[in-house]
């Protein structure tokens, strides 16, 4: 049977209600017993004592009226009306006294018969016996009183005086016995009241004990059931925090068959789903940049085929000497070299926030820009990555003997990098079954061309004019040439990245300045001046390839007639 949280809470409430009801029933029963005792006192002891007290009073009143009757009877002349009235009052008080004693005996008999009464039946029986004797004394007194009244009726004063002594003696005996009975009745009444108070105190004490026991039992049971409810919730919270911290191997035991058990099962299913998605992200992160994977998962709308036009910076990196390397090593060694090269040259891209679009053989295509990098920082970050790649080239060359497993005839490996900024289209390109999140546009084509242009000028890192303009505050550049690449109708100024501002050697800055003077003379067709400037570059840096390129180009150009509108743009015929 399914134990829902509602049933558990209902069980707690029912148990507490049952305990409270039991305590209330016990208290009610005890209160009923006390009430019964109070009723017994009220209906037996108190009325009995009151009746005895009234009987004594009526007896005293009878005696007083009898005295007045004697005075009125011997008074001359005799007031017969007064005598009759007093005789009537004497009779009335006699009857009332007898009735009160009888009422006291009835109350005592009721107390003896009442099982709820707590009085001592022996004492009550003895008291009833004394009341019976009291009635006999009262009858004796009435007999003497009758004789006195007869003497008064006959106006026999002598006989009255003889009998009145006996009347007084009977009166004293009756009063003594009546007083003794009242004292005994008062003692029973006092004991009854004390017993009632004691029973009331016991009832209160029992009630407190039962209430404390009920509260203890209720609290223990409620606490146990609450812990049973709270413990799995805390376990769920702890598990959720662990999952939030990345512990996707977290699984919680299902310890109940209520909603919390269902929630725990759902939590475990969620964790398994997250673990599966994490494996998907990890797997596809090896084929796509993790940020693209994350973006596609978090923003499903990007899965649509609609692209966005943005200004971005694109980089192409290629290994020089790959063909000769592939001809001289085994396929396994070639794959090891390429993997080492791609891993080494990818790290600067990732560190600078770039997105690796794809690997094409030994080439790396990457891009920078929103939403992955700040629009104003993209060119600087791309140049930073390019310089980082060039800086890692010597260490990569040193690792080749170990990777190839040879010590001699190690192939010479170099690299070329082209970077361009401009408008591109960003989005998912492909079919309904297979897509690639990539960039397309003139900037992409230009970056690819600039990578290849490095072969012409013997450079490692060339950038477009827009890239140079966006990153000029952070890096030093040298203009290499103005070229027209295949597929473009407008010429493009090409710049070489020299290094970060403030970190470039003075000799390199001097080289850039002399080279710039040579370019100005070259574009004015001042061949002699241009030749002198480029030769001065070689005097400063003998291995400067761009200066040698222009020194080789100037004799060819100067030996042939040039168009009147020639502006120094070099047209490239190869991609």
320 near 415, Cβ under 8 Å? yes
Structure tokens at 418: 């082209």
Q: 130 vs 566, which has greater pLDDT?
A: 566
Q: Parallel, antiparallel, or unpaired for β 355-360 and 492-500?
A: unpaired
Q: How far apart are CA 107 and CA 52, in angstroms?
A: 11
Q: What does the pLDDT average to over 303-324?
A: 80
Interhelix angle 442-457/545-558, rounded to 10 degrees, is: 90
Residue identified by tokens 């005295």 is 67
Q: How far apart are CA 29 and CA 281, in angstroms?
A: 73
Q: Is the pLDDT of residue 351 over 70?
A: yes
Return the pLDDT at 81: 82
The torsion angles phi and psi of 432, rounded to 5 degrees, stand at: -65, -25
22-41 tens-digit pLDDT: 777 877 777 776 677 677 66
pLDDT-derived band at 281 (thresholds 50, 70, 90) equals: low
Q: How far apart are CA 528 and CA 423, in angstroms?
A: 40
134-179 tens-digit pLDDT: 667 677 777 777 777 777 777 766 777 777 777 777 777 767 777 7
356 near 364, Cβ under 8 Å? yes
Q: What does the pLDDT average to over 381-398?
A: 93
Q: Which of 160-164, 211-215, 349-353, 365-369 has the lowest mean pLDDT?
A: 160-164
Domain boundaries, the chain: 5-223, 308-503, 505-575
Angle at 287 between CA 281 and CA 290, to 5 degrees: 45
Q: What does the pLDDT average to over 325-329?
A: 69
Q: Do the domains 308-503 and 5-223 match in fold?
A: no
Which of 334, 494, 466, 359 minimizes the C-alpha distance to 413? 334
CATH top class, domain 308-503:
alpha beta
Burial class of 176 by CB neighbour count within 10 A (0 to 12, 13 to 18, 19+): exposed
Work out the number of other CB atoms within 10 angstroms of the CB of residue 95.
12
572 near 484, Cβ under 8 Å? yes
Best mean pLDDT range from 56-70, 243-257, 506-520: 506-520
Task: Calculate what percentage of the chain has a pLDDT beyond 90.
Answer: 30
Structure tokens at 413: 């490996």
423-460 tens-digit pLDDT: 999 887 777 666 777 899 999 999 999 999 999 999 99
Q: Is the pLDDT of residue 376 over 90?
A: yes
Which residues partner with 148 through β-bridges? Answer: none
DSSP state of 299: -
67-103 tens-digit pLDDT: 777 777 777 677 778 878 877 887 887 888 778 778 8
Q: Which of 2-6, 67-71, 127-131, 478-482 has the lowest mean pLDDT?
A: 2-6
Return the pLDDT at 63: 76
Helix residue ranges, H only, 74-156: 80-113, 121-153
Average pLDDT score, the chain: 81
* 3-state secondary structure labels for all residues of 394-450: HHHHHHHHHHHCCCCCCCCCEEEEEEEEEEEEEEEEECCCCEEEEEECHHHHHHHHH
Angle at 286 between CA 280 and CA 290, to 5 degrees: 70
Q: Parallel, antiparallel, or unpaired for β 475-484 and 570-571?
A: parallel
Q: Is the pLDDT of residue 239 over 70?
A: yes
Q: 331 vs 534, which has greater pLDDT?
A: 534
Return the pLDDT at 248: 77
pLDDT-derived band at 489 (thresholds 50, 70, 90) equals: confident
Q: 360 vs 3, which has greater pLDDT?
A: 360
Return the pLDDT at 3: 65
Q: Is the pLDDT of residue 533 over 90?
A: yes
Residues 6+ apart with CB under 8 A from 449: 418, 485, 486, 487, 488, 572, 575
Work out the number of other CB atoms within 10 angstroms of the CB of residue 258.
19
Q: 4 vs 383, which has greater pLDDT?
A: 383
Q: How far apart are CA 387 and CA 162, in angstroms?
A: 156
Which residues partner with 436 through β-bridges? Answer: 429
Q: Is the pLDDT of residue 115 over 60?
A: no
Best mean pLDDT range from 145-154, 227-236, 482-491, 550-559: 550-559
pLDDT-derived band at 564 (thresholds 50, 70, 90) equals: confident
Q: Helix, strand, or coil here: 526? A: coil
Look up the CATH number of domain 5-223.
1.20.120
Q: How far apart are CA 336 and CA 169, in angstroms?
A: 145
Return the pLDDT at 413: 82
Q: 62 vs 566, which has greater pLDDT?
A: 566
Determine what percent of the chain falls in helix, strand and coil, rounding each to the nearest 5. Answer: 65, 15, 20
125-141 tens-digit pLDDT: 676 776 776 667 677 77
36-61 tens-digit pLDDT: 767 766 777 677 778 777 877 877 78
Q: How far apart are CA 471 and CA 448, in angstroms?
A: 19
């Amino acid at each position: 049977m399914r134990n829902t949280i509602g049933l558990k809470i209902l069980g707690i409430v029912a148990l507490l209600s049952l305990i409270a009801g039991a305590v209330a029933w016990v208290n009610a029963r005890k209160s009923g017993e006390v009430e019964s005792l109070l009723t017994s006192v009220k209906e037996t002891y108190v009325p009995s004592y009151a009746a005895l007290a009234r009987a004594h009073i009526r007896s005293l009143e009878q005696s007083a009226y009898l005295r007045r009757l004697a005075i009125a009877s011997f008074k001359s002349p005799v007031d017969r009306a007064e005598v009759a009235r007093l005789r009537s009052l004497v009779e009335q008080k006699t009857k009332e006294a007898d009735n009160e004693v009888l009422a006291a005996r009835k109350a005592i008999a009721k107390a003896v018969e009442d099982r709820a009464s707590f009085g001592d039946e022996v004492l009550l029986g003895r008291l009833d016996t004394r009341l019976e004797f009291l009635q006999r004394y009262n009858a004796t007194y009435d007999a003497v009183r009758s004789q006195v009244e007869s003497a008064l009726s006959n106006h026999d004063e002598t006989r009255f005086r003889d009998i009145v002594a006996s009347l007084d003696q009977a009166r004293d005996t009756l009063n003594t016995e009546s007083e003794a009975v009242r004292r005994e009745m008062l003692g029973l009444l006092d004991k009854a009241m004390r017993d009632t108070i004691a029973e009331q105190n016991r009832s209160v004490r029992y009630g407190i004990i039962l209430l404390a026991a009920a509260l203890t039992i209720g609290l223990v049971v409620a606490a146990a059931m609450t812990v049973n409810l709270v413990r799995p919730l805390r376990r769920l919270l702890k598990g959720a925090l662990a999952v939030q911290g990345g512990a996707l191997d977290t699984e919680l035991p299902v310890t109940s068959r209520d909603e919390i058990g269902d929630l725990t099962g759902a939590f475990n299913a969620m964790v398994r789903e997250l673990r599966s998605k994490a494996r998907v992200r990890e797997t596809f992160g090896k084929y796509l940049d993790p940020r693209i994977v994350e973006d596609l998962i978090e923003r499903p709308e990007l899965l649509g085929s609609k692209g966005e036009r943005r200004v971005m910076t694109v980089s192409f990196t290629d290994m020089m000497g790959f063909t000769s390397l592939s001809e001289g090593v085994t396929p396994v060694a070639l794959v090891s070299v390429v993997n080492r090269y791609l891993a080494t040259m990818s790290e600067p891209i990732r560190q600078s926030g770039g997105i690796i679009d794809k690997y094409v053989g030994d080439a790396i295509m990457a891009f920078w820009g929103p939403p992955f990098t700040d629009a104003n920082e993209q060119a600087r970050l791309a140049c930073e990555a390019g310089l980082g790649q060039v800086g890692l080239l010597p260490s990569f060359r040193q690792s080749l003997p170990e990777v190839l497993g040879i010590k001699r005839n190690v192939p010479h490996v170099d690299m070329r990098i082209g970077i361009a900024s401009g408008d591109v289209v960003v989005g998912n390109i492909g079919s309904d079954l297979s897509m690639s999140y990539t960039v397309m546009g003139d900037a992409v084509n230009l970056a690819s061309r600039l990578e290849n242009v490095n072969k012409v000028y013997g450079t490692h890192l060339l950038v477009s004019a827009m890239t140079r303009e966006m990153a000029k505050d952070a890096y030093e550049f040298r203009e290499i040439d103005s070229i027209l690449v295949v597929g473009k109708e407008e010429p493009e100024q090409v710049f070489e990245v020299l290094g970060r501002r403030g970190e470039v050697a003075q000799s390199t800055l001097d080289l850039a300045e002399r080279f710039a003077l040579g370019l100005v003379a070259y574009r004015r067709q001042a061949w002699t001046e241009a030749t002198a400037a480029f030769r001065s570059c070689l005097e400063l840096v003998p291995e400067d390839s761009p200066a040698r390129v222009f020194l080789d180009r100037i004799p060819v150009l100067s030996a042939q007639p040039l168009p009147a509108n020639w502006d120094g743009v070099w047209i490239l015929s190869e991609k």
